[in-house]
């Protein structure tokens, strides 16, 4: 992997990640951009104890542009975009409309491919491995920022999820606090250790492998399963068999196999609802250990992949119980979801 660091016309950082070492990235951003002005503010909720980012400047962000005006496509044929070069493998840049900025953290965009009409599932194993390298490199660099407490790499895919740009891309949030969901995991991890003496993540993976009913895919280095208490209609957790706290600690075997097993998982997601159905909307979320917390090395890196589509043409909405009280009601039994994801391997 070759990494080239440059800046955009308004001073934001942009990084090219190339699979070939002989690629030269010298294109200059020729857009007449004003300096980025943000109003991001973190406020603490005294009732729940969590944090909310207030970012009013995001109201003006780019919203569903036509394909020929996509800001994530390369700059070609006289049309200038966020990426100055006329082609790229993987690109990461600072978000122009960040939810978090300055002392409040940092937001980055990750473009998986220059092909606007593609998706992550369409990538080759080499391309997917390069995205993993980019996620890992950004995790390592952002970990060095004094204000950053946790790095969250994720992809929102599909208009139903709320995606405003159709180009295949994801994001990285560098939080100045530990995310509430991670706080819950850390508490559960500590309670499990005190109760059993074991590691929660190790025991969870071992239980799913022993049971087998909810296992979707297994490899030498990874295992994918629908969790016992899945919140979403189709939800899969992907764990490395050798527990590590974050992406930086994955060994070469796990890094190589990830591309194979994750691409297969995404392709199965697109086949859940049968032929003729539109691509399945999903969220893919990497859960990494926060920095500087007790027991960090006991945390288990994993990816959670889920869709809000519960059946053909119908979405799972977060209504009163879910939105008002955080009590989820799942219409699809986890065992049935796992069975369906195993079945679509041959379709």
Q: What is the DSSP letter of 128?
A: H
Closest CA to 226 of 240, 216, 239, 241: 216
Contacts of 334 (CB under 8 A, 6+ apart): 214, 226, 227, 228, 229, 230, 235
Q: What is the DSSP letter of 83?
A: B
Active site residue 192: no
Kindly write down the DSSP assignment for every residue of 205-223, as one continuous string: HHHHHHH-TTEEEE-SSEE
**106: exposed, middle or buried (Cβ count in 10 Å: 0-12, 13-18, 19+):** buried
Question: Helix 180-196 vs helix 200-211: angle between axes, to the nearest 10 degrees?
Answer: 80
The distance between the two most distant Cα atoms of the chain, rounded to a whole number of Å, is 64
- Could you give the 3-state DSSP secondary structure of residue 308? coil
Catalytic residue among 167, 169, 237, 287: 169
- Whose tokens are 């199965």? That residue is 268
What percent of the residues of the chain are helix, what percent strand, and what percent coil, each to the nearest 5?
30, 25, 45
Helix or strand (DSSP H, E) at 109? strand 106-111
- Provide Rg for the chain, Cα atoms: 20
Are the beta carbons of 311 and 330 closer than 8 angstroms? no
- What token pair was written down for 150? 């946790």
- Whose tokens are 């690629």? That residue is 23
Q: Residue 283: phi, psi to the nearest 5?
A: -120, 130
- Whose tokens are 């044929």? That residue is 77
Q: Which residues are catalytic?
A: 169
């Amino acid at each position: 992997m070759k990494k080239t660091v440059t800046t955009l016309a308004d001073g934001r950082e942009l990084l090219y990640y190339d699979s070939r070492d002989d690629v030269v990235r010298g294109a200059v951003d020729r857009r007449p951009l004003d300096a980025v002005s943000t109003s991001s503010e973190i406020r603490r909720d005294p009732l729940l104890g969590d944090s909310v980012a207030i970012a009013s400047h995001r109201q003006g962000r780019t919203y569903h542009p036509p394909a020929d005006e996509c800001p994530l496509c390369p700059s070609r044929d006289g049309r200038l975009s966020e990426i100055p070069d006329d082609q790229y493998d993987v690109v990461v840049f600072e978000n122009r409309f960040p939810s978090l900025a300055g002392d409040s953290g940092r937001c980055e965009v990750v473009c998986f491919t220059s092909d606007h009409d593609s998706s992550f599932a369409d990538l080759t194993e080499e391309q997917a491995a390069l995205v993993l390298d980019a996620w890992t490199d950004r995790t390592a660099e952002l970990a060095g920022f004094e204000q950053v407490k946790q790095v969250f790499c994720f992809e929102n895919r599909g208009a139903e999820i709320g995606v405003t740009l159709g180009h295949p891309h994801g994001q990285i949030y560098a939080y100045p606090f530990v995310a509430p969901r991670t706080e819950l995991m850390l508490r559960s991890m500590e309670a499990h250790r005190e109760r059993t003496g074991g590691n929660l993540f190790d025991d969870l993976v071992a239980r799913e492998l022993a049971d087998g009913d909810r296992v979707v895919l297994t490899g030498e280095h990874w295992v994918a399963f629908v969790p016992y208490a899945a919140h979403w209609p189709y939800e899969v957790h992907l764990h490395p068999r050798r527990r590590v706290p974050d992406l930086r600690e994955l060994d070469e075997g796990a890094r190589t196999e990830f591309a194979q097993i994750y691409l297969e998982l995404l392709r199965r997601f697109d086949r859940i609802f049968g032929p003729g159905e539109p691509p399945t909307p999903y969220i893919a979320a990497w859960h990494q250990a926060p920095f500087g917390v007790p027991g960090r090395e006991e945390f288990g890196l994993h990816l959670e992949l889920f869709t809000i589509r519960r059946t053909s043409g119908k979405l799972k909405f977060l209504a009163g119980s879910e939105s008002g009280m955080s009590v989820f009601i799942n219409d699809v039994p986890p065992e049935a979801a796992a069975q369906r994801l195993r079945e679509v391997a041959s379709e």
